[in-house]
């Protein structure tokens, strides 16, 4: 490794590296180099490569040969450029040391600022008339960060000393501490370090190497490993170290520090969006200890343009240059030193789902990217977030007027959530097993990630839009409110106090991450605006989100091959499905129609009938209502195929369990209660999922299927006569043998022909089967002889392939996932090795026997992006999923045909 270059320089206008060297220079280093090349004002510095980190990890903290001299050479260059020397007591060069991994890992790695200061420099500088307040402020920050990161001193000890200093002086913020107070703070920090056992090293070079080692070491700390595990990132990449000349945002009121997004990360609107703090250093904004100002405030407010007109203009220019260059929304950090702007970082900005979609579509409209790239940048989860529920405005207003508004913070993650309050991440994870939880914290840190995952939403009392909680929540797609400073979290008492009010852990709370409101009690979530506009054509509010939602899906439709249908049981579901762009119904579960109030009693009488005559009487009642159901669905789906599945669940599921309901039914039927109770008991099976259901029922009690087929055929005739283009498909569930399907087909076709003769109306109706029993996959070629189409029921197929009952999988699956025995839930995402192999085999065998066999899938997996990609590879004709997942499936079916891009949007 001796002959490799280990250190890459960057400075105004030039750089050794560039943006495509993220693996070597880390994201931060690569982009600092790129910005330098573009002539954007970046404080000069150098990057020690990730390869050095890997070497350091593999060689117990040793460095590759030649590193030291390369670093010395670069320090010399910086000294010459700045006209200052590192460690010079008169006018020292100070640097920052920052980590920068190839992938953004917010809050995971560490930063040290003002490195190069020591006691002597401080004394001399103050004695020489330097700005004592500023110098001491810098030094105390260095002592805390170095103490924290390198020497492992407990952070609370520094916090306690600072609090004591504020109290002594009678001020509320650190920013107001006087030079004298800061002098005391510095003394007390030195004391803290001495008591902790390691004094602060006075030699700046020792500081530098200590900091470099700490950054490399932090790559492997628990938090970092946990973060990588949760985000599926590689462990072997290492981090780079960036050493950069310090610029100061805390050098007076003509200085500031801030963060900005080139577009709004919550909505995607094309407008610089961010926050800054006057007279502060970078960490102050991110830590959320002071509430920053908006760069571009709503009309009337004071913003960066008022405080720093020139730097503001320049920042807008830089933002434009970066967007044009990267063709992506950027998240930047900047510092203004005596009115002069310096850029400290740029990277692709994290964003909410709605923002991701809007930015992708807008950038394509602006000509920055093509349609395919726009599709690569939108993930299925983003569409899901756009459809995420909010609270009913009236219900919320009543809650607020009723005094239940606990506070208002910043709307950091859109969407609404309600649940029981948990005050620590551990409790959140525990409590989440019994229902929805909200994590309520002072502020969050990387240790809280598991609890944040487990929660429905997150509330913090402190912090801004770029605080840890805000960034991570947006990443997870969770509703989040930060900086709700009316909330006081009292861990000792285990309560959240808001004025006189107290909420205990376990009490209900609601949050609106779109408005920032935190409300006591549980509010019910309601449909999103995009959803209302799509489904009901509602016109109120901004229509752009709905427009971009539609547009991106239209682009997806041009790319995808797989068709997308919906699982819909009612005309209303069918309308929703159509509004989302479904190209048909892939599964209409007829049993759901049986539960409606006006028919369940006839269904029960049909099941319990003791004579053919009695049964026929019940079926005669059911036929017209079933027919009306189908007519409604066929009308809603005119011009598109509708696959109706005949009755599937075991009959006992329709029967009453409560003695009162049994008595009522007995009365209706005119038989004694005991007889009904006996029959109910007899029909109850021990393992209904593998029992007398599906086509087994259709073959042993054929009147039911015959009634359903007749209802479908008559409904089709009626709609055809009414002028609709109807395309029904009749589907038999749970078929496992050739004889089952051949018998069912015959029964079905006979009935269809009879109805055709009786009505004189000809409607072509396909007859096919579900493939959801493993045996059916093996004999798919024989089954295909009698089926016009196959539709994989991957719910049952997964159940039977694994031997996990769908009824009790919840008892062990969570533990299996936690222990890594299963890498993911196979009921949510298709198992490609086992269940997927069955699907693949059945598809091949089926098509060998019948080349034009139409094949789809209608299990839950139809709405899962990874599964959709799998079904595309296998070559199915369509996927069918819940109406609300249709958008996801359309997008996923297109994206899986395009190459992968790095996921920045979250």
Which of 704, 576, 719, 726 is closest to 645 using CA atoms? 704
Clarify whether 255 is annotated catalytic.
no
794 in contact with ligand PEP (CB under 6 A): yes
858 in contact with ligand PEP (CB under 6 A): yes
Candidate list 858, 861, 881, 896, residue with the active-site label: 858
- 3-state SS of 547-574? HHHHHHHHHHHHHCCCEEEEECCCHHHH
Interaction partner, residue 859 (Mg ion, ligand PEP, none; CB < 5-8 Å by kind): ligand PEP
772 in contact with ligand PEP (CB under 6 A): yes
Query: In angstroms, what is the minimal distance from the CB of 798 to Mg ion?
Result: 10
Query: In angstroms, what is the minimal distance from the CB of 269 to ligand PEP?
Result: 41
Of 793 and 883, nearer to Mg ion (C-beta) is 793
Clarify whether 468 is annotated catalytic.
yes
589 in contact with ligand PEP (CB under 6 A): yes
DSSP string, 134-200: HHHHHHHHHHHHHHHHTS---HHHHHHHHHHHHHHHT-SSGGG--HHHHHHHHHHHHHHHHHHT-PP
Tokens representing 885?
């997942």
Tally Cβ neighbours within 10 Å of residue 792: 30
Interface with ligand PEP (CB under 6 A), residue from 27, 859, 863, 883: 859
Query: In angstroms, what is the minimal distance from the CB of 797 to ligand PEP?
Result: 7
Query: In angstroms, what is the minimal distance from the CB of 853 to ligand PEP?
Result: 18
Sign of CA pseudo-dihedral 810, 828, 379, 882? negative
Which helix (H) or strand (E) is 256 found in, with range? strand 256-261
Sign of CA pseudo-dihedral 821, 823, 828, 829? negative
Of 348 and 587, nearer to ligand PEP (C-beta) is 587
Interaction partner, residue 545 (Mg ion, ligand PEP, none; CB < 5-8 Å by kind): none
Of 409 and 856, nearer to Mg ion (C-beta) is 856
Interaction partner, residue 858 (ligand PEP, Mg ion, none; CB < 5-8 Å by kind): ligand PEP
Of 215 and 564, nearer to ligand PEP (C-beta) is 564
- Number of residues interacting with ligand PEP: please give it, by CB under 6 A: 10
Residues 401-420 that bind ligand PEP (CB under 6 A): none
729 in contact with ligand PEP (CB under 6 A): no
Interface with ligand PEP (CB under 6 A), residue from 111, 445, 743, 795: 795
Tokens representing 709?
């087929």
Burial of 610 (0-12, 13-18, 19+ CB in 10 A): exposed
CA angle (618 as vertex; 617, 622 as ends), nearest 5: 120
Name the CA dihedral angle for 431, 432, 433, 435, rounded to a multiple of 10 degrees: 100
Residue tagged 């109306």 (tokens): 761
Interaction partner, residue 70 (Mg ion, ligand PEP, none; CB < 5-8 Å by kind): none
Angstrom distance (rounded) from CA 439 to CA 449: 11
648 in contact with ligand PEP (CB under 6 A): yes
> Which one of 56-64, 667-675, 717-725, 787-795 is the stretch in contact with ligand PEP (CB under 6 A)?
787-795
- Over the range 464-484, which residues count as b (16 or more CB within 10 Å of their CB) and which as e? bbbbbbbbbbbbbbbbbbbbb
Q: How many CA atoms lie within 13 A of 577 on its CB side?
A: 31
> Which one of 569-577, 636-644, 695-703, 790-798 is the stretch in contact with ligand PEP (CB under 6 A)?
790-798
Which of 30, 35, 27 is closest to 14 using CA atoms? 35
Residues 382, 901 contacting (CB under 8 angstroms): no
Interaction partner, residue 390 (ligand PEP, Mg ion, none; CB < 5-8 Å by kind): none
Query: In angstroms, what is the minimal distance from the CB of 561 to ligand PEP?
Result: 22
CA 172 to chain CA centroid, Å, is: 37
Angstrom distance (rounded) from CA 642 to CA 636: 10
Interface with ligand PEP (CB under 6 A), residue from 268, 282, 793, 863: 793
Of 249 and 793, nearer to ligand PEP (C-beta) is 793
587 in contact with ligand PEP (CB under 6 A): yes
Candidate list 468, 652, 732, 861, residue with the active-site label: 468
* CB-based contacts of 170, cutoff 8 Å, min separation 6: none
Interaction partner, residue 794 (Mg ion, ligand PEP, none; CB < 5-8 Å by kind): ligand PEP
> Which one of 183-191, 317-325, 535-543, 794-802 is the stretch in contact with ligand PEP (CB under 6 A)?
794-802
Interface positions with ligand PEP (CB under 6 A): 587, 589, 648, 772, 793-796, 858-859
Q: What are the residue numbers of the active site?
A: 468, 858
């Amino acid at each position: 490794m001796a002959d490799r270059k280990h250190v890459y320089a960057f400075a105004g206008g030039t750089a050794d590296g560039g943006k495509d060297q993220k693996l070597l220079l880390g994201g931060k280093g690569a982009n600092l180099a790129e910005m330098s090349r573009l002539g954007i004002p970046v404080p000069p510095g150098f990057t020690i490569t990730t390869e050095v980190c890997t070497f350091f990890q593999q060689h117990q903290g040793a460095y590759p040969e030649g590193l030291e001299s390369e670093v010395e050479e670069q320090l010399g260059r910086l000294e010459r450029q700045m006209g200052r020397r590192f460690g010079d007591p008169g006018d020292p060069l100070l640097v920052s040391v920052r980590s920068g991994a190839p992938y953004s890992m917010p809050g995971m790695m560490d930063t040290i600022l003002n490195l190069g200061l020591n006691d002597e420099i401080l004394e001399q500088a103050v004695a020489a008339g330097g700005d004592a307040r500023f110098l001491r402020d810098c030094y105390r920050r260095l002592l805390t960060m170095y103490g924290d990161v390198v020497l492992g001193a407990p952070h609370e000890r520094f916090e306690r000393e600072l609090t004591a200093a504020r109290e002594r002086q009678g001020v509320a913020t650190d920013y107001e501490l006087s030079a004298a107070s800061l002098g005391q703070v510095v003394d007390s920090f030195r004391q803290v370090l001495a008591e902790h056992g390691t004094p602060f090293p006075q030699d700046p070079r020792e500081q530098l190497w200590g900091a470099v080692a700490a950054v490399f070491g932090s790559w492997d700390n628990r938090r970092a490993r946990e973060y990588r595990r949760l985000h599926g990132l590689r462990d072997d990449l290492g981090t780079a170290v960036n050493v950069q000349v310090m610029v100061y945002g805390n050098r007076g009121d003509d200085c500031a520090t801030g963060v900005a997004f080139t577009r709004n990360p919550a909505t995607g609107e094309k407008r610089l969006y961010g926050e800054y703090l006057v007279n502060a250093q970078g960490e102050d904004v991110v830590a959320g200890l002071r509430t920053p100002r908006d760069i571009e405030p709503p009309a009337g407010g004071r913003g960066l343009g008022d405080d720093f007109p020139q730097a503001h203009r320049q920042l807008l220019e830089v933002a434009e240059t970066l967007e044009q260059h990267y063709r992506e929304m950027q998240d930047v950090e900047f510092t203004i030193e005596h009115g002069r702007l310096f850029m400290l970082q740029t990277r692709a900005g994290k964003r909410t789902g709605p923002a991701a979609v809007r930015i992708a579509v807008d950038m394509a409209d602006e000509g920055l990217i093509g349609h395919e790239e726009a599709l690569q940048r939108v993930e299925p989860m983003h569409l899901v977030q756009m459809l995420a529920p909010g609270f009913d405005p009236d219900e919320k207003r009543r809650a607020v007027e009723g005094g239940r508004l606990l506070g208002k913070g910043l709307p950091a993650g859109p969407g609404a959530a309600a649940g029981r309050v948990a005050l620590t991440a551990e409790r959140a994870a525990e409590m989440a097993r019994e229902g929805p939880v909200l994590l309520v914290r002072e502020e969050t840190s990387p240790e809280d990630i598991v609890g944040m995952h487990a929660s429905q939403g997150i509330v913090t009392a402190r912090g801004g839009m770029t605080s840890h909680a805000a960034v991570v929540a947006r990443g997870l797609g969770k509703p989040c409110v930060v900086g709700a400073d009316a909330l006081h979290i009292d861990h000792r008492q285990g309560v959240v106090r808001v004025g006189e009010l107290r909420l205990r852990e376990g009490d209900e709370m609601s949050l609106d991450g779109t408005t920032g409101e935190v409300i006591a009690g549980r509010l019910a979530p309601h449909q999103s605006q995009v959803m209302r506009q799509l489904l009901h054509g509602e016109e109120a509010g901004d229509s752009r989100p709905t427009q971009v939602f539609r547009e991106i899906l239209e682009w997806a439709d041009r790319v995808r091959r797989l068709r997308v249908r919906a699982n819909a049981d009612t005309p209303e579901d069918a309308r929703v499905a159509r509004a989302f762009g479904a190209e048909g119904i892939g599964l209409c579960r007829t049993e759901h129609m049986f539960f409606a109030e006006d028919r369940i009693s006839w269904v029960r009488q049909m099941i319990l009938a003791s004579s053919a005559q009695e049964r026929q009487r019940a079926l005669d009642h059911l036929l017209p209502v079933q027919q009306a159901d189908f007519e409604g669905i066929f009308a809603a789906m005119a011009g598109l195929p509708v696959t109706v599945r005949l009755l599937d669940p075991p009959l006992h599921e329709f029967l009453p369990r409560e003695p009162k309901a049994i008595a009522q039914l007995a009365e209706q039927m005119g038989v004694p209660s005991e007889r009904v109770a006996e029959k109910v008991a007899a029909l109850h099976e021990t393992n209904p999922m593998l029992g007398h259901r599906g086509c087994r029922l259709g073959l042993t009690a054929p009147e039911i299927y015959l009634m359903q087929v007749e209802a479908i055929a008559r409904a089709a005739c009626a709609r055809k006569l009414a002028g609709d283009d109807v395309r029904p498909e009749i589907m038999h569930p749970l078929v496992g043998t050739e004889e089952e399907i051949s018998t069912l087909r015959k029964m079905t076709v006979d009935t269809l022909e009879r109805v055709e003769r009786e009505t004189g109306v000809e409607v072509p109706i396909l007859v096919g089967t579900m493939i959801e029993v493993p045996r059916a996959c093996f004999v798919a070629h024989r089954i295909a002889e009698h089926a016009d189409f196959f539709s994989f029921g991957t719910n049952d197929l997964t159940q039977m392939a694994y031997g996990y009952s769908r009824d009790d999988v919840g008892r062990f699956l969570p533990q299996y996932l936690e222990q890594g025995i299963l890498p993911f839930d196979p009921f949510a995402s298709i198992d490609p090795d086992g269940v997927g192999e069955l699907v693949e085999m059945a598809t091949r065998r089926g098509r060998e026997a019948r080349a034009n066999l139409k094949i789809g899938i209608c299990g839950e997996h139809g709405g899962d992006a990874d599964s959709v990609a799998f079904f595309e590879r296998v070559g199915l004709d369509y996927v069918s999923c819940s109406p609300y997942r249709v958008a996801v499936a359309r997008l996923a079916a297109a994206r899986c045909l395009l190459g992968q891009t790095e996921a920045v949007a979250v």
